[in-house]
Amino acid sequence: NAGVTQTPKFQVLKTGQSMTLQCAQDMNHNSMYWYRQDPGMGLRLIYYSASEGTTDKGEVPNGYNVSRLNKREFSLRLESAAPSQTSVYFCASSELGNVPGELFFGEGSRLTVL
């Protein structure tokens, strides 16, 4: 069972470069999320999508854009990467109506911006 799949797992960028993190889930969930995890800061929500065709800002959206391509896929784009965006990024999905607050996470994408 694949669950939530993120690519790439590791990436090194130079300041000002752009890149897209890809996420796909095979659980037919409506909701998808992008979080970043930093030491001492915990998991912080960047963007989420409650259903196909909708996206909303989370706690730390600046410097990021998202696309909910279809029900399965939710991508996160960094248009002009900055060292402050060095982090581990997690994609997650859920289905409201199941266990409230049960999110299924991918294994993470480790991004370093030099």
Residues within window 40-59 making contact with another protein, judged by CB under 8 A: 40-45, 48
- Is 12 near another protein (CB under 8 A)? no
Specify whether the CB–CB gap between 3 and 25 falls below 8 A.
yes
Q: Which residues, at least 6 apart from 102, have a Cβ–Cβ distance to it below 8 Å?
A: 94
Burial class (CB in 10 A: 0-12, 13-18, 19+), 41: exposed
Size of the site for another protein (CB under 8 A): 25
- Is 26 near another protein (CB under 8 A)? no
Identify which of residues 17 and 105 has a Cβ nearer to another protein in the complex: 105
Residues within window 81-100 making contact with another protein, judged by CB under 8 A: 90, 92, 94, 96, 99-100
Burial class (CB in 10 A: 0-12, 13-18, 19+), 100: exposed
Contact positions vs another protein (CB under 8 A): 4, 31, 33, 35, 40-45, 48, 90, 92, 94, 96, 99-108
